Amino acid sequence: MLSLRERQKLRRRDRIFRTAINLFREKGFHQTTATDIAKASHVSRGTFFNYYAYKEAVLLDFGAQLLGEMREQAMAELRRGEPPLEVLHRLWERLAEVSERERSLLSPLAYELLNPDPSRAKAAFEALPLGDLIADILRPLRAEGKLRKDMSLERISRSIADVYLLSALRWAAYTPERELKDEMNKFLSLMLEGALAREAPHREEVGRP
The answer to whether 95 and 133 have CB atoms below 8 angstroms apart is: no
pTM of the model: 0.87
Whether 100 is covered by a domain: the verdict is: yes
Q: Are residues 12 and 35 in the same domain?
A: yes
For CA atoms 37, 102, 58, 4, the dihedral sign is: positive
- Of the candidates 88, 80, 105, the residue with the CA atom closest to the CA atom of residue 30: 105
Task: Identify whether residues 33 and 97 lie together within a single domain.
Answer: no
Task: Please give the pLDDT value at position 199.
Answer: 60
Domain boundary among 20, 35, 51: 51
Q: Which residues, in sequence order, are bridge partners of residue 147? A: 196
Answer yes or no: do 44 and 76 share one domain.
no
Question: Does one domain contain both 15 and 82?
Answer: no
The one-character DSSP state at 102 is T
Specify the amino acid at residue 28: G
What does the mean pLDDT of the chain come to?
91
Same domain as 153, residue 79: yes
121, 113 contact by CB (below 8 A): yes
Look at residues 143, 134, 133 and name the one whose alpha carbon lies nearest to residue 197.
Answer: 143
For 80-116, b where at least 16 C-beta lie within 10 A, e where not — what string? eeeebbebbbbbbebbbebbbebeebbeebbbbbeee
Residue among 114, 26, 98, 96 nearest 62 (CA): 98
Question: How confident is the model over 24-72, as pLDDT tens digits?
Answer: 999 999 999 999 999 999 999 999 999 999 999 999 999 999 999 999 9
Q: Tell me: the pLDDT tens digits for 2-21?
A: 788 888 999 999 999 999 99
**81-105 pLDDT, tens digit each:** 999 999 999 999 999 999 999 988 9
CATH of the domain at 71: 1.10.357.10
Number of domain units in the chain:
2
